[in-house]
């Protein structure tokens, strides 16, 4: 398989962790988002949305897109270890937690939104940084609201084994800690689970700052 990704990308991180958990290999092809390579014609031929990740399985078909859809594909093709619980209610909860990060929080901090804020809305760096930190922590607080009070929460977001929700939570916390300097004191359950995830090699070795070409800032 081939994974089109970028070291800094939180959505690529999600796919990297899932591949690691499943024991699957993919050759990662870097699309440099800092140089705008996601909108180059050769990449738009891979993913017309101009975003990473895109996963090209070995089946000769077109690339798969959207990290959550890719995670579910990997889970269906390689069911062990499962990324979703067996019961419909549990699956709904894990998908819901995942989507708070991947569908509500993360889109607001992507390069295309940041550059629109800068170029079209004329927001300076301080204002843009406030925006990034604000929406990142708001998503984590929303997840915390569930994790802290629901009895399904265990060592991980849902029970005692990692699921898709933990992958999405970890991506959101990485944004908070590594990129946007968020104060995470009000999301203790999320942080406890994040730290548990990071003790697992599949999560730790996928970290953006451990990828080739990563530049801490
Ligand atoms: N919802 C998509 C998000 C994809 C996305 O926005 N990826 C970012 C990197 S994490 C990207 O490629 N952004 C390019 C841009 O905003 O120009 C997913 O989960 O796959």
CA–CA dist 107, 146 (Å, integer): 21
- Tokens 């999600």 -> residue: 14
Residue 19 pLDDT > 70, yes or no?
yes
CA torsion 96→114→56→200, rounded to 10°? -60
Phi, psi of 5 (to 5 degrees): -150, -170
DSSP secondary structure, 33-100, as one string: GGGTGGGSHHHHTT-TT--S-EEE-TTS-PPEESHHHHHHHHHHHS-SS-SS-SSHHHHHHHHHHHHI
Residue 217 pLDDT > 70, yes or no?
no
* End-to-end Cα spacing for the chain: 31
Other beta carbons less than 10 A from residue 27's beta carbon: 9
CA of 11 to the centre of ligand 1 (A): 6
Phi, psi of 28 (to 5 degrees): -90, 125
Residue-wise pLDDT for 178-215, tens only, equals 999 999 999 999 999 999 999 999 999 999 999 999 98
Q: What is the mean pLDDT of the segment spanning 106-132?
A: 98
* pLDDT at 128 (0 to 100): 98
Residue-wise pLDDT for 49-70, tens only, equals 999 999 999 999 999 999 999 9
Instruction: Indicate yes or no: pTM above 0.85.
Output: yes
CA of 151 to the centre of ligand 1 (A): 32
Q: What rounded mean pLDDT belongs to the chain?
A: 97
Pocket of ligand 1 contains residue 9 by CB under 6 Å: yes
């Amino acid at each position: 398989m081939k994974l089109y990704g970028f070291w800094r990308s939180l959505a690529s991180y999600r796919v990297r962790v899932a591949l690691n958990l499943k024991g699957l290999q993919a050759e990662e092809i870097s699309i440099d988002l800092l140089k705008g390579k996601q909108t180059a014609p050769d990449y738009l031929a891979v993913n017309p949305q101009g975003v990473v990740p895109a996963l090209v399985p070995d089946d000769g078909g077109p690339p798969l897109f959207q990290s959550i859809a890719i995670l579910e594909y990997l889970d269906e093709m390689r069911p062990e270890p499962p990324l979703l619980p067996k019961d419909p209610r549990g699956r709904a909860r894990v998908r819901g937690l995942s989507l708070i990060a991947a569908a509500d929080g993360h889109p607001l901090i992507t390069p295309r939104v940041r550059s629109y804020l800068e170029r079209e809305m004329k927001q300076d760096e301080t204002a843009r940084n406030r925006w990034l930190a604000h929406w990142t922590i708001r998503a984590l607080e929303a997840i915390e609201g569930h994790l802290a009070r629901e009895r399904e929460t265990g060592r991980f977001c849902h029970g005692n084994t990692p699921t898709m929700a933990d992958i999405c939570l970890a991506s959101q916390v990485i944004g908070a800690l590594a990129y946007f300097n968020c104060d995470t004191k009000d999301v203790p359950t999320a942080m406890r689970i994040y730290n548990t995830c990071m003790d697992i090699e599949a999560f730790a070795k996928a970290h953006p700052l451990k990828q080739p070409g990563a530049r801490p800032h």
